[in-house]
Structure 1
Amino acid sequence: MNGLDEGQVALLKSKLQQRLDELAGVVQPRAAGEHDLPVSEVETSPADKATVRLLNDLALEAAGHAAAQMQQLRRTLEKFDDGSYGLCEECGNAIGFSRLQARPEARLCISCQTRAEKR
C-alpha cells in the first residue's frame, strides 16, 4: 500500500483511531430536539446574560468543529479498507511517511498541499 510497510500502517491507523476515540469522548450525541447548553441562563444582569450566551456559542462552535474532525477521521479510516490511504487525492502519488506521522489525516502530498495553499 503506497510505500508504507505494515508497521507504519498499523501505527498510523492506531493514531487515527485514538484521536477519533478522544473526540468521541468530547462530543456527546444529542437526542433530536434536545438543546442542552453548557451554561444555563439565569436571571442576572444583561452583561451576565451576554457572557452566558457567548460561552454557549463558543461551546457549540467547538462541538461542531469536533464533529467535523470526527467525520474527517472516519473518512480517513475508511481509506485503509479500500487501499487508498496515503495516496494524494489530487495527483495520486504516495504521501510521505513523515508527513503522515505529523498529520495522519493528510489528503494531499506536500507539493499539492503547497499549491492549494498558494491559491
Structure 2
Amino acid sequence: MRHAFPMIAMPPLDEGQLAQLRAALEARLAALSGVAEPQATNGGRDLPVPEVETSPADKATVRLLNDLALEAAGHNAAQMQVLRHALAKFDDGGYGLCEECGGDIGFSRLQARPEARLCITCQTRLEKR
C-alpha cells in the first residue's frame, strides 16, 4: 500500500530568517575552509604522516592514517561544495525552495540543515526509494 504524503504549505522565509540561515552557511563554510588539507606537490601529495623506513606494521599504520586524512579532506571538500551550492541559491532566489517539487522548505528544517535541497516530504520519499 502506497502512502501519499500531504503537501504542507510553508510560509516563505522572511528577511531575518534568510539572514540567519545565510550566516550559518557562511560560518560552516569558513570553519571548513580553515581545516588543513593535504596539498598536491610535485604530482603527489604532502601526507600528514611521513612515510619512513620502519617495520611493515608501522608502514601499514602510517598508510592507514594517511588514507583517513585524505578521506577526511575529500569529505570536507564535498561538504564545502554543498555549502557553496546553497549560498549560490541566495543569489538566484532559489534558496529555501525544494529542488524536487519547487515548494518551500520549512524554516525549522533549514535551521537544522541550512544546506537542505529538498523539503521534508521529498527527502522522505527519496530515502524510501
**Structure with greater helix share of residues:** 1
CA contact (8 A) 2:38 2:73 kept: no
Code of the residue aligned with 2:21 in structure 1: it is L
1:20 to 14, 20, 29: 29
Partner of residue 105, structure 1:
115
Partner of 1:68: 78
Structure 2 partner of 1:4: 13
| Contact 1:90/1:108 (8 A) holds in 2 | yes
Pairwise mapping of residues 25-44 of structure 1 onto structure 2 (< 5 A)?
Answer: 25-28=34-37, 30-31=39-40, 33-44=43-54
1:31 is displaced (CA, Å) by 4.8
Stretches of structure 1 lacking an aligned partner (at least 5 in a row) = none
Please tell me the root mean square deviation across aligned C-alpha atoms, in Å: 1.4
Amino acid corresponding to residue 34 of structure 2 in structure 1: G
**TM-aligned CA deviation for residue 17 of structure 1:** 0.3
Spell out, residue by residue over 1:60-81, the C-alpha distance to the aligned partner (whole angstroms, 9 max, x if none): 0000000000011111100000
In 2: Cα distance, 1:59 partner to 1:29 partner: 8
Tell me the equivalent position of 2:91: 81
Structure 2: 5+ residue runs without aligned partners? 1-10
Q: Highest CA radius of gyration, 1 or 2?
A: 2
Corresponding letter in the other structure for 2:121: S
Change beyond 3 A, Cα 1:3–1:24? same
Count residues with an aligned counterpart. 118
TM-score (norm 2): 0.87
| Identity rate, percent | 75
